[in-house]
Amino acid sequence: MALLGVRRPTHEPRAHNFVRQVVSLAAGLVEADHAYVRDGSVYFRGAAVPARANLPDDQARALSAEYLDEPDDPAKENPFDVALWRASEPDAPAWPSPWGPGRPGWHAECTAMALSIYGSSLDLHAGGSDLRFPHHAYEAAQAEAFTGVTPFARAWMHVGVVRMGEAKMSKSAKNLVLVSELAADHSPAAIRLLLLRRPWSRSWSFDAAEMAQVESALDALYSASARGERGDGDLATDAVLSALRSDLDVVSALDIATDAGGAAARTLIEVLGLR
């Protein structure tokens, strides 16, 4: 991240440091009848969550199963209820709770961390588009049920996933292309532009051949920044910033800046961290 010029976040929470807060979240939701206890586990009432996410039940059920939310668990009152707290089997990781030894549910971990650090609501919640449902949908539903504050996030930024061919890059699939590998032959600015030069919400497939195109575009932008403006420099700079404000349209901003040159190009280099 430092190599790419990404600033460190103020907070880097780890779920195992927030187990007590997950227990408090689960207890509060049980008290408000948004959750119930079964055999040492606590389940959030999630029947309404698929509709909140604008998903038909069959699609939501398939995603719930894919992400191990166990819609067929016989302990549940509804297939779309999810575990806030799971009773632990012997020899499995466990922490104490009012319901016995157990561990946090996945969605509850993030709900508790977000509420503990940022309070009852967020201006912007980002994450991969593959987390839209069930993870983010349940995180928001749990937070709103616990605090009574809506919406939990005033804006969502679900970023497109990166694929290798047709498969999503992931550690489990062992098909990752690491930044450290790319950095052996390409500048950090080129890697940044590779990631930024596309609609942010659209998934895409990595192609090593694209690096040559990106480096050519970056060289053209640098050259444009060193020459005088073509036309009105203030108007061109405003057009670059307007494109970025329009759903982060980096593609249009890059075209405008490279064509106009001068201050417009320098502004885009500064804003996108391409120095």
Spell out the domains of the chain, with CATH numbers in brackets: 15-159 (3.40.50.620), 164-272 (no CATH)
Q: Are 134 and 82 in contact (CB under 8 A)?
A: yes
Q: Are 103 and 93 in contact (CB under 8 A)?
A: yes
**Is 52's pLDDT higher than 90?**
yes
Q: Provide φ and ψ at 161, rounded to 5°.
A: -85, 160
Question: What per-residue confidence (pLDDT) applies to 14?
Answer: 97
Question: What per-residue confidence (pLDDT) applies to 33?
Answer: 98
Of 260, 75, 43, give the one whose Cα is nearest residue 142.
43
pLDDT in tens, 140-164: 999 999 999 999 999 999 999 999 9
Sign of the four-CA dihedral 162, 164, 167, 169: negative
Q: Average of pLDDT values for 38-66? A: 97
Average pLDDT over all residues of the chain: 96
Ordered alpha helix ranges (H), 186-261: 188-196, 210-226, 233-245, 250-260
Q: How many CA atoms lie within 13 A of 128 on its CB side?
A: 12
Whole-angstrom distance, CA of residue 275 vs CA of residue 273? 6
pLDDT in tens, 214-271: 999 999 999 999 998 888 889 999 999 999 999 999 999 999 999 999 999 999 999 9
Distance from first CA to last CA of the chain, Å, rounded? 15
Whole-angstrom distance, CA of residue 3 vs CA of residue 188? 6
Question: What per-residue confidence (pLDDT) applies to 230?
Answer: 85
pLDDT band at 64 (very low <50, low <70, confident <90, very high): very high
Q: Are 142 and 123 in contact (CB under 8 A)?
A: no
Higher pLDDT, 22 or 231: 22
Question: What per-residue confidence (pLDDT) applies to 229?
Answer: 85
For strand 204-205 and strand 162-164, is the pairing parallel, antiparallel, or unpaired? Answer: parallel
Q: Average of pLDDT values for 99-109? A: 97
To which H or E segment does residue 140 belong?
A: helix 137-147
Q: How far is CA 137 from the centre of its chain?
A: 12
Look-up: residue for tokens 């067929």? Answer: 72
